[in-house]
């Protein structure tokens, strides 16, 4: 597996652990719908959370969260609509970004709530 794929997996695992520590139950990982993918879907009480995880080992080109494009957000929302309908969800939803930076085996997390709607 390519190095960037391994980095992404580490970041997603760390993001899931972080969210679980905040009281969220991880419902889905890498949920796919057509050409869209949602990295994590989590729930806490009556809030359903759709999370895009961005992981970087080098900040030379910018922070991880800066790499979530308008097009990517649109695809995530489309997949989320499908998920909400399929699960018959009638409560709150939120779209977050969890930015993970890995440098010298140290991981830092930046949780951006309500990153796009």
- For residue range 12-50, list pLDDT tens digits in order: 999 999 999 999 999 999 999 999 999 999 999 999 999
**Distance, CA of 117 to CA of 111 (rounded, Å):** 16
Mean pLDDT of the chain: 92
Domain locations in the chain as residue ranges: 3-112
Q: For residue 114, count CB atoms less than 10 angstroms from its CB and return exposed for 0-12, middle for 13-18, buried for 19 or more.
A: exposed
pLDDT of residue 4: 62
Q: Answer yes or no: is pLDDT of 94 > 60.
A: yes
pLDDT of residue 8: 83
Stronger pLDDT, 18 or 1, i.e. the higher one: 18
Q: For domain 3-112, which architecture applies?
A: 3-Layer(aba) Sandwich (3.40)
Instruction: Please tell me the pTM assigned to this model.
Output: 0.92
CA 62 from centroid of its chain's CA atoms: 18
């Amino acid at each position: 597996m390519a190095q960037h794929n391994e980095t992404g997996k580490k970041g997603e695992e760390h993001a899931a652990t972080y969210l679980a520590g905040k009281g969220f139950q991880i419902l889905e990982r890498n949920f796919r719908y057509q050409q869209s993918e949602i990295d994590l879907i989590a729930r806490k009480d009556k809030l359903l959370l759709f999370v895009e995880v961005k992981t970087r080992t080098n900040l030379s080109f910018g922070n991880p969260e800066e790499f979530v494009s308008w097009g990517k957000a649109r695809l995530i929302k489309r997949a989320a609509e499908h998920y909400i309908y399929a699960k018959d969800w009638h409560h709150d939803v939120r779209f977050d970004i969890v930015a993970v930076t890995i440098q010298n085996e140290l991981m830092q997390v930046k949780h951006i709530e309500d990153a796009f709607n």
